[in-house]
Amino acid sequence: MSNADNPAGAGGQSGERTIDSARGAAPLPASADLVILGGGIMGLWAAVKAERLGIRTVLVDSGKLGRGTSGGLLGALMPHMPDKWNDKKQFQFDALLSLEDEVGQIEADTGLSCGYRRTGRLIPLPKSHLRAIAFRHSEDAATHWDQAGRRFHWHVADQTPHPGWPDASFCEAGIVHDTFAARVSPRKLTEALGASLNAGRHVTVVEGLTASRIDGASSRVEFADGTSIAFGACIVAAGHQAFPLIEGLSDPPPQPIGQPVKGQAALLRAGADPDLPLLYLNGLYLVPHDNGDIALGSTSEEAFDEPYSTDHQLEDLVAKARALVPSLSNAPVVERWAGLRPKAIDRDPMVGPHPDNANVIALTGGFKVSFGVAHLLAEAALDAVSGRIMPVPASFLLENHLSVASR
């Protein structure tokens, strides 16, 4: 079934979600101390952090805030495997740990729920050789997941603690219960971040403007409708559309520094217990949400013809989910979603100043981990705006991605 069967339309945007866009009608100012391009999860967090710092900011989105790829369905906040620990895994650990308090503050400020819960994650072990690996990971988690006064576990059990979630036939060698993973509602979180901006004084939101070029020499963003804005600093957080904008700053332009990756997901009306852990097996995510719906996905397609339509690949995922949890066999699909996520050339998130235009800062990439790390990456981008050292792994830096592209 394609998006033609989905009343939400192409991209699967549900009519249930609302972000107060009253300020989105604001005209484009002539200039701003900070211009943020892109109102997805990265740009929204950057704008919220800029508001708290009192920076005169204009947030510009080509559509509506939070309605692009960040308006998807899953919201899985899963840590990397606890083995082979490195600075990237530590950064993600710190981000996933601190996100709980960040979401709590947004909920307190706005009175809106973000659908956040630290429910943990179950990983079935369908093959016998996986059990020994799982026990090694348990030892790794005991070492690396005991930080900042919080301890999380990687339990290895013989059977699932939630009968039928998943079916016992997938647990031949047992099951892992990771207590660190969490989930959030992408739409509720982006709505709450937008509401936080509406209540602020320093950020102007302009919607429906597509950036066509960043002129580094004149520190000006030009838009497809012929308008432009001068900036003191510009954070480029426009998802996969950020890549050509950043490439255009170099003469000659480098090889592509990133690409869009298509993802497809679905929502089942399941009446599930919202406290169930996330379920993960071989690239398939099942994420229970507060209303009992279960989001499932997602594909990672680097080649595609229709970026915003769902197809047989999603139907295959739905079939796999129903096999994994037979109680979902009669749960209707109430929404199908497809969108394009930003994958930087080195796969890691991309953040930091452009080497030839220090007042233009990238904030994109990380297509599989964005919701878990966006708040910390936004802080790093604002450090770059202020000329401070960014506390991020070296592989995340824009200059690293540009170097990889030049090889």
| Domain ranges, ordered by start, for the chain | 3-72+188-257+346-406, 117-181+260-344
Please spell the DSSP secondary structure of 115-176, one letter per residue: --B---EEEE--STHHHHHHHHHHHHHHHHSEETTEE--EEEESS-SSTTSS-GGG-TT-EE
- 138 token code pair: 């348990």
At residue 25, the pLDDT reads 54
Tens digit of each residue's pLDDT (9 = 90 or more) over 377-391: 999 999 999 999 999
Looking at domain 117-181+260-344, does it have CATH number 3.30.9.10?
yes
At residue 148, the pLDDT reads 80
- 94 token code pair: 């710190």
At residue 184, the pLDDT reads 98
Write the CA distances from 45 to 110, 195, 406, integer angstroms.
15, 12, 30
Q: Which fold has domain 3-72+188-257+346-406?
A: FAD/NAD(P)-binding domain (3.50.50)
Distance, in Å, from the CA atom of 212 to the CA atom of 224, rounded to the nearest integer, reads 5
Is residue 50 a contact partner of residue 255, using CB atoms and an 8 Å limit? no
pTM for the whole thing?
A: 0.93
Q: Which helix (H) or strand (E) holds 220?
A: strand 220-223
In the predicted model, residues of the chain with pLDDT beneath 70 are: 1-25
At residue 172, the pLDDT reads 97
At residue 4, the pLDDT reads 33
Q: Distance between alpha carbon 186 and the CA centroid of its chain, in Å?
A: 8
